[in-house]
Amino acid sequence: MGIGKRLATLPTKEQKTWQLISELSQLNHKLPARVWLPTAAFDHHVVRVPHTQAVVLNSKDKAPYIIYVEVLECERFETSGIPLRIPETCIRSARSVDNLLPECVGITAEQRAGSFSTVPNYDNDDEAWAVDDIGKLEVELPEGHTSSSDNISQFSVDSITSTESKEPVFIAVALKEPWQEKVRRIREGSPYGHLPNWRLLSVIVKCGDDLRQELLAFQVLSQLQSIWEQEHVPLWIKPYKILVMSSDSGMIEPVLNAVSLHQVRKQSQLSLLDYFLQEHGSYTTEAFLTAQCNFVESCAGYSLICYLLQVKDRHNGNILLDSEGHIIHIDFGFILSSSPRNLGFETSAFKLTSEFVDVMGGLDGDMFNYYKMLMLQGLIAARKHMEKVVQIVEIMQQGSHLPCFHGSSTIRYLKERFHMSLTEEQLQVLVEQMVDGSMRSITTKLYDGFQYFTNGIM
């Protein structure tokens, strides 16, 4: 958090990134230590931060950044001993990689090279582009709110130091570098990589942002996910972990192997359906049908989330697509009774564009009917357990000044969206009306247009 606050005082992204790498390098001198990353699901000790992999994310006046953390898994954090420090690869200069200090004997050539050559080779320039192209989404945003946008997407960015100019050169390699490939690359360059219990974690550090609303959204999403599993409704959502450190700082778990719809469109220049066909194969292949099914089940899940929580600011920088075809909504800065600049742009129940419908096989397709059926089943299941969802929101509202609780009727409106008095037949009509209204929504098109002209989000 201290690093994040110091970075925010620097004027350019390059200076911020250079400072971040420098400070993390210093941090490594104090590792391994009895410290752990609270967003992880297993006990471990942090042994090293591969500092050249860290990236400052785009933000107008703050400096959120993503770091990767090497850890050793252990039985119990409290009782396991702290791992011994293993010296770095100790290279004197990039020009003479083989001039090793005595304590570095035993490090392989690959490991030596790994400490400098962290950027994979690509056959052509089309596979790499500048960091500044990533997440240029936070240009002019509502006061008091910074869109997480592409921040949470796990794009791959690497930085290397040019040995000739001694200036940092920042290279963003292809967005779709799979997480396992990144793990392999960092492991090869790590002095701890040979250990069987070595693991790699990642986390986004945010300073100057209140993440309590994000945490509320995470808790509601987790509850609904649990309800749908319990009721055997195959809806798919991905609640990512939020750790609130203070009223203006915290950590976010990045979503792996996913890019924003904005980046998909910008980099591929394809429609969403054509991108699916390119990634997963033709209409009749098993890979395409699986990805299409994943898309429908996640789209239905997030449609209900957006309706129940009244999620706004749904531009294409805030919706991710993962490598299996699921969509994942990120950035819950505007929920319940708040909207960006109170523009009131997004009046539809959820975002359902013609591109989404095309991926589902069109209005007359079986998958589009499956989407509507899942919406109905998901709403019926959520309705049975309404109190569990409402309780979370009520608890968070007590004494809260969060913008999502603007006005006293927030809870009443939330309860109304569960439609407890309707029969299942009436609910089906309601779902049809919401789907139809969202599909035809002129306000969705207006908001997407507004985002494109003000922030360049495609």
Check which CATH number belongs to the domain holding 439 and give it.
1.10.1070.11
Q: What is the pLDDT of residue 347?
A: 59
Q: What is the pLDDT of residue 36?
A: 92
| Residues 202 and 337 grouped into a single domain | no
For 359, counting Cβ atoms within 10 Å of its Cβ (0-12 exposed, 13-18 middle, 19+ buried), the class is: buried
Distance CA 342, CA 404 (A): 12
**Which segments of the chain have a pLDDT < 70?**
59-60, 89-176, 337-347, 407, 442-458
**Crossing angle of helices 272-280 and 286-309, rounded to 10°:** 140
Distance CA 374, CA 370 (A): 6
Q: What is the pLDDT of residue 405?
A: 78
| Residues 153 and 202 grouped into a single domain | yes
Distance CA 137, CA 145 (A): 12
| Residues 135 and 268 grouped into a single domain | no
Distance CA 177, CA 187 (A): 15
Distance CA 251, CA 207 (A): 9
Distance CA 276, CA 265 (A): 12
Do the domain assignments include residue 117?
yes
For the beta carbon of residue 135, count every other beta carbon within 10 angstroms.
26
Token digits for 262?
């904005």
Give residues with Cβ within 8 angstroms of 193, minimum separation 6: 70, 111, 186, 187
Do the domain assignments include residue 250?
no
Q: Which residues pair with 55 in a beta bridge?
A: 66
DSSP 255: B
* Long-range CB contact pairs, 361-365, < 8 A, 24+: 361/292
Residue type, 130: A
Distance CA 181, CA 257 (A): 11
Token digits for 25?
């390098």
Distance CA 122, CA 89 (A): 25
Count of domains for the chain: 2
| Residues 423 and 343 grouped into a single domain | yes
- Expressed as residue numbers, the domain containing 270 is 212-240+257-455
Q: Look at residue 70 and give its three-state secondary structure.
A: strand
| Residues 183 and 231 grouped into a single domain | no
For 260, counting Cβ atoms within 10 Å of its Cβ (0-12 exposed, 13-18 middle, 19+ buried), the class is: buried
* CA 203 to chain CA centroid, nearest Å: 10
Do the domain assignments include residue 46?
yes
Do the domain assignments include residue 247?
no
Q: What is the pLDDT of residue 349?
A: 76
Give residues with Cβ within 8 angstroms of 49, minimum separation 6: 24, 27, 28, 31, 67, 68, 69, 70
| Residues 188 and 220 grouped into a single domain | no
Q: What is the dihedral of CA 255, 261, 265, 271, to 10 degrees?
A: 120
Do the domain assignments include residue 246?
no
Q: What is the pLDDT of residue 438?
A: 85
| Residues 196 and 235 grouped into a single domain | no
Do the domain assignments include residue 92?
yes
Distance CA 451, CA 314 (A): 10
Do the domain assignments include residue 218?
yes
Q: What is the pLDDT of residue 108?
A: 41
| Residues 172 and 44 grouped into a single domain | yes
Last residue of a domain, which of 207, 224, 248?
207
Residue type, 407: G
For the beta carbon of residue 76, count every other beta carbon within 10 angstroms.
7
Q: Mean of the per-residue pLDDT values for the chain?
A: 78
| Residues 106 and 155 grouped into a single domain | yes
| Residues 305 and 192 grouped into a single domain | no
Do the domain assignments include residue 252?
no
* Of 178, 171, 228, 270, residue with least CA distance to 379: 228
H or E stretch including 42? Answer: none
Handedness of CA 395, 398, 400, 402 (dihedral sign): positive
Beta strands at 249-252 and 55-56: parallel, antiparallel or unpaired = unpaired
Q: For 349, how many CA atoms within 13 A lie in the half-sphere containing its CB?
A: 20
pTM for the model: 0.75
| Residues 142 and 110 grouped into a single domain | yes
| Residues 174 and 218 grouped into a single domain | no
